[in-house]
Amino acid sequence: MNNKTWSGRFNEPVSELVKQYTGSIDFDQRLAKWDIQGSLAHAQMLHEAGLLSAEDVAAIKQGMAEIEAEIKAGQMAWSLDLEDVHMNIERRLTDKIGDAGKRLHTGRSRNDQVATDIRLWLRDEISTIQNLIQALQAALVDLADANADVVMPGFTHLQVAQPVSFGHHMLAYVEMLGRDFERMADCRGRVNRMPLGAAALAGTTYPIQRETTAHLLGFEAICQNSLDAVSDRDFAIEFTAAASLVMLHLSRLSEELIVWMSPRFGFIDIADRFCTGSSIMPQKKNPDVPELVRGKSGRVIGHLMGLITLMKSQPLAYNKDNQEDKEPLFDTVDTLIDTLRIYADMMRGVTVKPENMRAAVLQGFATATDLADYLVKKGLPFRDSHEVVALAVRHADSLNVDLSDLPLQALQTFSGLIDADVYEVLTPEGSLNARNHLGGTAPAQVRAQVARWRQLLQAQ
């Protein structure tokens, strides 16, 4: 019974089955570093508030340093009887320094302690994620720069639409990741608010100084309502939503890489170190990394749905349900970090096949819109131009040739406005260069965006 901090209230010990079911030490021990940080700041605040002696603070600091060393060395004996990381550390501290360890919990509850630890941990993990997003962006920017002049078919409905630069295509994902970075930064601001001092739910009768603790822990703000402080998990849901969007973006890119690597497309190749073979088919080279990223996106999105469902019916304030926030949140962080790290490495192992891309452009009448624009510039209304080009495409399709392969005389049967200069707009390269405006796919614009992103990444 003495192993329980609350056991005096009960007439019988908790059953072993309940211990197994309700214990969290198997997964929340990863919060140990941040639990110690929070406890040291809390102890310092108690001292400054006149609630803890200098001798007790010194003993707590020494004891926590020893416990942290034990944890790093793998020598900490975690006990299921003590339920979680917080009670394990507190009990170990008390065993080491006696009554000073028992005084540490003055003015706080496990409710605000847990909420504080998770925020401290997630704040640091978001910073790591932001750095990894930038590393992936840098890899994509380099790939875009090297392939600014490479023409490929742009698709709508997965049908050939218009020529685009491969570099332009890569920069589209850089833009997505840029928004992801912004969302993480915005989310981090709301994560970085301190619940410590809310105690169980109503605050505390001790003259605590929450501003002092917040300053010591580097929090930007303090949770203003004690009920909300201990029961809020919006920050975890918001982070998981932001993480889901990152995984969604990488899943979309993964789908394209998988399709492009297929011999039916043959647009790219992925370095062997990121692929696997088949146990029965010797010729196979499977894009396992992007396939697994595509699969893991569902895992992270599932965690988001789980956290939303976890919170949707909880009355104020803290409920044991909230123990279920940690595993999906931990797994979301682990999955996202692992995915971003391997993706940045993999994208530097992508080989582009320009000849195959250009050949694909010529198979889908990708410059049809350019021909329509050409006629509009000659004075034909756009709707009439659209109809003229549609008839020309139908004719070229019947001959199994591209528009650029049709003789001038044949093109002129569809409109007398067509002249010899039409072939300048019917080439894929001409189509790219014609879109030389902000946000366009012209190689000059791609290089301008590359320069812009390099400057932004260096400044962040």
**Residue stretches of the chain with pLDDT short of 70:** 1-8
Q: Which amino acid is at 83?
A: E
pLDDT of 109 reads: 97
Residue 161 burial (CB < 10 Å; 0-12/13-18/19+)?
middle
Peptide bond into 271 cis (omega under 30): no
Helix, strand, or coil (residue 354): helix
| Domains within the chain, CATH numbers bracketed | 10-106 (1.10.275.10), 111-359 (1.20.200.10), 363-459 (1.10.40.30)
**Distance from C-alpha of 371 to C-alpha of 375, rounded to nearest angstrom:** 6
Concerning whether 42 is annotated as a catalytic residue, the answer is: no
Point out the catalytic residue in the list 157, 279, 313, 398. 157
pLDDT of 227 reads: 98
Q: Where are the beta strands (DSSP E) in 288-446?
A: 350-352
Q: Give the rounded distance of the alpha carbon of 128 from its chain centre.
A: 11
Helix, strand, or coil (residue 50): coil
pLDDT of 327 reads: 97
pLDDT of 10 reads: 76
Residues 6+ apart with CB under 8 A from 16: none
Cα separations in angstroms, 298 against 287, 307, 308:
18, 14, 15
Give the Cα-Cα-Cα angle 323, 40, 207 (nearest 5 degrees). 90
The single-letter DSSP state of residue 148 is T
Q: At 154, which helix (H) or strand (E)?
A: strand 151-156
Query: Distance between the two ends of the chain, CA-based, in angstroms?
Result: 53
Concerning whether 278 is annotated as a catalytic residue, the answer is: yes
Residue 363 burial (CB < 10 Å; 0-12/13-18/19+)?
exposed
Count how many Cα atoms sit within 13 Å of the Cα of residue 459 in the half-sphere of its side chain. 6
Point out the catalytic residue in the list 7, 53, 262, 278. 278
Residues 6+ apart with CB under 8 A from 265: 259, 356, 360
Residue 279 burial (CB < 10 Å; 0-12/13-18/19+)?
exposed
